[in-house]
Structure 1
Amino acid sequence: MKKQFAIIGLGRFGSSICKELYHMGHEVFAIDTDPKKLEAVSEFADHTFEGDGTDENLLQNVGIRNFDHVIVAIGDDIQASILTTLHIKDHEVPNIWVKAQNDYHHKVLEKIGADRIFHPEKEMGSRIAAYLTSDTVLDYIDLSADYSIIEMLATSKIAGKSLVDLDSRRRYGCTIIAIKEQGKVNVTPDPEKPVEKDNVLIMIGDKRDLRRFRDAEL
């Protein structure tokens, strides 16, 4: 379903989101104070507008209240990020997603009503750390400070065992929610069928439990 997104701030994070949303077929409106950044994403945005997100008149002129989602991806200027978020809240946008620079910024954004808060550098750091410390972790998504979803390659110690044999929930406290085989995801895998080498287990659980499962001598 096609949605309308406004992205305010076109640094690396904002530009990347702009391109991905455009390729997914959504309508994207890009806003930044730097005309060079606008030019760089012009082929990936349906509309571009040069201006400052802290300017209430600008937000009104672009019809910010008409967007399904507004993403505030302003870079290092925390004050501008907070003011922009406040102004967008005044326009009663249903979904406001904001990039946070640090924990203090995060707390302020929570208090003023941001619907979702991103820490892209921190999140990417967690992913890279997971890749560097394990040859079997293919992807890693933080759900909270404690819980994650991971994609884990089935190695020879897992291959040949069924989900019943692995019994991951009882033994390790984490759950195998799907199995990916040859690029296809099966969300209702046969619990009695042996897992094949190089299948991908999609798992959810506490990070410590997921590590215990990963490191276990099965």
Structure 2
Amino acid sequence: MALFAVIGLGSFGGTVALELTNLNHDVIGIDSVKRNVENLADQISHAVIADATDEHVLDELNIKNCDAAVVAIGEDIEASILCVLHLKNLGMEKIMAKAKSRAHHMILSHLGISKIIHPEEDMGIRVAQSLSYPMVRRYMALNNERYIVKVEISSGLQGAQYQTIMEETHDIKTLLLQRGSHVLYEIAPGTILQEKDILIIEGPVDVLRQLSMRFS
């Protein structure tokens, strides 16, 4: 269990705070808007009405003791930048911040924070990926070139051999096959795939794109 600060409890920040709580972490949620704090007061560890652009306030809340901070202030760019500067002054090493625009991103990047988040852009990419490759249920980028993807076997591939689907896929690794409640980490080439089987596959994005056509 870790302790995280989420500053800005709007739609994005509130979602982050709730998900961290669901993952059994302690969360200090901060927002200057009373309504946003009240919406989460009974659902996260600590919800505080406070001005995160005031360094003394952040110091009094002992934010520096948190394992990481997420600055989810998107609309007020000045407030976002001030908050990040104060967190760095307090010695916070791991800071993630939401960027509203290209200029906002550029300023945050010069501040040397851990990660800059573009929620709308990231969601747009996920929607486009799901439309382009509907058989891919989830994916995770390891870097700009390699991904881990979750593929669900459709009715059209019922009875197909695993080896046939995966042949000539260089530099691709199947991490596991899940069938109902059973998980196989060693998959025999002659394994017959069943509808609703789930494959977790890792590899270069260009090869994964080619492979995805076999699952469509």
- TM-score with structure 2 setting the length: 0.86
| Correspondence for 1:162 | 162
In 1, are the aligned partners of 2:169 and 2:207 still within 8 Å (CA)? Answer: no
Q: How does 1:37-56 map to 2 (within 5 A)?
A: 37-56=36-55
Question: Relative to structure 1, is the Cα distance of residues 164 and 144 closer, same or farther in structure 2, using a 3 angstrom cutoff?
Answer: same
Percentage identity across paired residues of the two chains: 29
Q: In structure 2, the residue corresponding to 1:138 is in which secondary structure? A: strand
| Correspondence for 1:189 | 186
Deviations 1:139-189 (A, max 9, x none): 23344444433211123348532358613641xx44322222215554x23
Question: Relative to structure 1, is the Cα distance of residues 24 and 97 closer, same or farther in structure 2, using a 3 angstrom cutoff?
Answer: same
Between the aligned partners of 1:101 and 1:57, the Cα distance in structure 2 is 26
Q: How does 1:83-94 map to 2 (within 5 A)?
A: 83-94=82-93
Between the aligned partners of 2:33 and 2:122, the Cα distance in structure 1 is 27
1:190 partner letter: I
In 2, are the aligned partners of 1:163 and 1:195 still within 8 Å (CA)? Answer: no
| Correspondence for 1:128 | 127
CA shift for structure 1 position 6: 0.8
Between the aligned partners of 1:29 and 1:14, the Cα distance in structure 2 is 11
Question: Relative to structure 1, is the Cα distance of residues 185 and 92 closer, same or farther in structure 2, using a 3 angstrom cutoff?
Answer: farther
| Correspondence for 1:21 | 20
Number of corresponding residues: 214
2:82 partner letter: L
Structure 1 residue runs without a partner (length 5+): none
In 2, are the aligned partners of 1:69 and 1:94 still within 8 Å (CA)? Answer: yes
| Correspondence for 1:77 | 76
In 2, are the aligned partners of 1:18 and 1:44 still within 8 Å (CA)? Answer: no
Deviations 1:62-83 (A, max 9, x none): 1111111111111212222122
Between the aligned partners of 2:176 and 2:160, the Cα distance in structure 1 is 17
Question: Relative to structure 1, is the Cα distance of residues 145 and 125 closer, same or farther in structure 2, using a 3 angstrom cutoff?
Answer: farther
Question: Relative to structure 1, is the Cα distance of residues 10 and 183 closer, same or farther in structure 2, using a 3 angstrom cutoff?
Answer: farther
1:180 to 158, 178, 181: 178
| Correspondence for 1:66 | 65
Question: Relative to structure 1, is the Cα distance of residues 217 and 51 closer, same or farther in structure 2, using a 3 angstrom cutoff?
Answer: closer
Between the aligned partners of 1:182 and 1:66, the Cα distance in structure 2 is 42
Q: In structure 2, the residue corresponding to 1:180 is in which secondary structure? A: strand
Question: Relative to structure 1, is the Cα distance of residues 101 and 158 closer, same or farther in structure 2, using a 3 angstrom cutoff?
Answer: farther
Q: In structure 2, the residue corresponding to 1:129 is in which secondary structure? A: helix
- TM-score with structure 1 setting the length: 0.85
CA RMSD, 1 decimal: 2.5
Q: How does 1:193-204 map to 2 (within 5 A)?
A: 193-204=191-202
In 2, are the aligned partners of 1:65 and 1:91 still within 8 Å (CA)? Answer: yes
Between the aligned partners of 2:37 and 2:215, the Cα distance in structure 1 is 52
CA shift for structure 1 position 111: 2.5
Structure 2 residue runs without a partner (length 5+): none
